Amino acid sequence: MKDIDPPDVEALVAELRERIAVRERAGDQPPYLDADLAAQFARVVDSTPAFGDRERLVALLDRVRLAVEGSAPDHDMLAVLVDMVGEMANLLAASETRNTNLERRMDYAEYLIEELRRDQGGDPDTLSALRHRVDRLETELPASFAPPFSAAAFQEHFQDSGERQRHWYRHLAAQFLDVPGPVLDIGCGRGDLLVELQRIGIRATGVDTDPSVTAICRERGVDAELVDGLRMLERSGSGSFGGIVALQVIEHLDPGRAARLVELTFSKLAAGGKLILQTVNVESLFALARAFVIDPTHVQPVHHTYLEFLLASAGFDPVTVEFQSQLDDGERLVTPGDGPDANIDRLNEVLFAPQDYTVTGIKPAESSG
């Protein structure tokens, strides 16, 4: 192939600079345009608030986790690292703006992780204890928004624990009677469902990220672990569970983590296993205006058609949707006069549709994923 002669860019730049100089002298253009424009993006970056400290610490913890779950590394160095992350979490919780002390520690921790990857050899018992500490640390990292109350206090105040609610948990527990393995309850809260599952003889474990509620579960004699649900799934083997349930959890996750949750549940369920997810029904304006916004830790509502699509895309088949928590007639608009009123009925549908829905997916028997 014949090469082409490259244009003389230097000469062109000189010509362009001359053109600019003429315009600068004429007052048509500010001086030092080239340098000024080249520095513009740096100004944008510098004036951006210190995003990323928390994300960087989470990433760091992810890498520590990979180290503890990888082939046995030096556990003394790992213990130092885990301590450092704990210390950094405290620093992060105490600072509202960019914290150079924290940044230096993170730089050092990243260096140590690299060292760790090179230096193999450690004993499994110590590693297992460290793994447990990493799980705990994750739940102790300050959240983007850290509420000044415990999950137990919040649920005590806002959640219905009456007969209707108990009936719902009994109904739900019965859905897992025929599943091919133990049940995992992600975001198990005070363990209401775990108690019902235990009552009918189904082996079940709960996970939650709030120690106030896992403590209550233990007091009630049901098995609950203080660990993030996604983490629990990631470290479980393929096909470990016969059923997975997450009630009012997915609205606490950003879209990426929500999709990851569905993807992981599919791989961790045994063939024939069942996934049930419950969340706020977006099509009920009453529920959006109340249940969704009352909890400040909600990230975003999830429409039932999207969640249905997400499960089907992950491979669940069949996928079904059911609506729950119909409002009492007392909450609904009343028809004036005796006869039916189509407008009132329609308004009732839009405003007061059932407040929650569940999406249920079955992992097909022939699936290997």
Main-chain phi, psi angles of 348, to 5 degrees: -60, -40
Where does this chain touch other proteins (CB under 8 A) — which range of 43-51, 86-94, 131-139, 212-220?
43-51
Single out the residue of 20, 77, 285, 299 in contact with other proteins (rule: CB under 8 A): 20
Return the number of the residue (61 or 193) whose C-beta is nearest other proteins: 61
CA 240 to chain centre: 21
Where does this chain touch other proteins (CB under 8 A) — which range of 35-43, 176-184, 190-198, 283-291?
35-43
Contacts 24+ apart (CB under 8 A), 323-330: 323/281, 323/353, 323/354, 323/356, 323/357, 324/168, 324/278, 324/354, 324/355, 324/356, 324/357, 324/358, 325/281, 325/287, 325/354, 325/355, 325/356, 326/354, 326/355, 327/286, 327/352, 327/354, 327/355
Longest CA pairwise span in the chain (Å): 90
Output the smallest distance, CB 352 to other proteins, in A. Answer: 36
Considering the rule CB under 8 A, would residue 21 count as an interface residue with other proteins?
A: no
For residue 144, the tally of other CB atoms under 10 A from its CB is 9
Single out the residue of 26, 27, 45, 334 in contact with other proteins (rule: CB under 8 A): 45
Where does this chain touch other proteins (CB under 8 A) — which range of 42-50, 82-90, 200-208, 358-366?
42-50
Considering the rule CB under 8 A, would residue 26 count as an interface residue with other proteins?
A: no
365 neighbors 271 (Cβ within 8 angstroms): yes
Residues 264-293 that bind other proteins (CB under 8 A): 267
Considering the rule CB under 8 A, would residue 369 count as an interface residue with other proteins?
A: yes
352 neighbors 286 (Cβ within 8 angstroms): yes
Return the number of the residue (35 or 146) whose C-beta is nearest other proteins: 35
Output the smallest distance, CB 130 to other proteins, in A. Answer: 18
Considering the rule CB under 8 A, would residue 342 count as an interface residue with other proteins?
A: no
Single out the residue of 87, 114, 219, 345 in contact with other proteins (rule: CB under 8 A): 114
**Contact pattern from residue 303 through residue 322 relative to other proteins, giving x for each residue in contact according to CB under 8 A and a dash for the rest:** ----------xxx-------
Considering the rule CB under 8 A, would residue 71 count as an interface residue with other proteins?
A: yes
Single out the residue of 25, 31, 55, 94 in contact with other proteins (rule: CB under 8 A): 55
Single out the residue of 25, 31, 70, 200 in contact with other proteins (rule: CB under 8 A): 70
| Closest to 249 measured CA to CA, from 305, 289, 209 | 209
Return the number of the residue (10 or 328) whose C-beta is nearest other proteins: 10
Considering the rule CB under 8 A, would residue 51 count as an interface residue with other proteins?
A: yes
User: Computed from CA positions of residues 180, 181, 184, 185, in that sequence, does the dihedral angle turn out positive or negative?
Assistant: positive
Return the number of the residue (34 or 76) whose C-beta is nearest other proteins: 34
Return the number of the residue (256 or 337) whose C-beta is nearest other proteins: 256
Considering the rule CB under 8 A, would residue 100 count as an interface residue with other proteins?
A: no
β-pairing, 183-186 vs 204-208, is parallel
Rule CB under 8 A: which residues touch other proteins?
A: 1-4, 6-7, 9, 12-13, 15-17, 19-20, 23, 29, 33-34, 37-38, 40-41, 43-45, 48, 51-52, 55-56, 58-60, 62-63, 66, 70-71, 110, 114, 117, 238, 263, 267, 313-315, 368-369
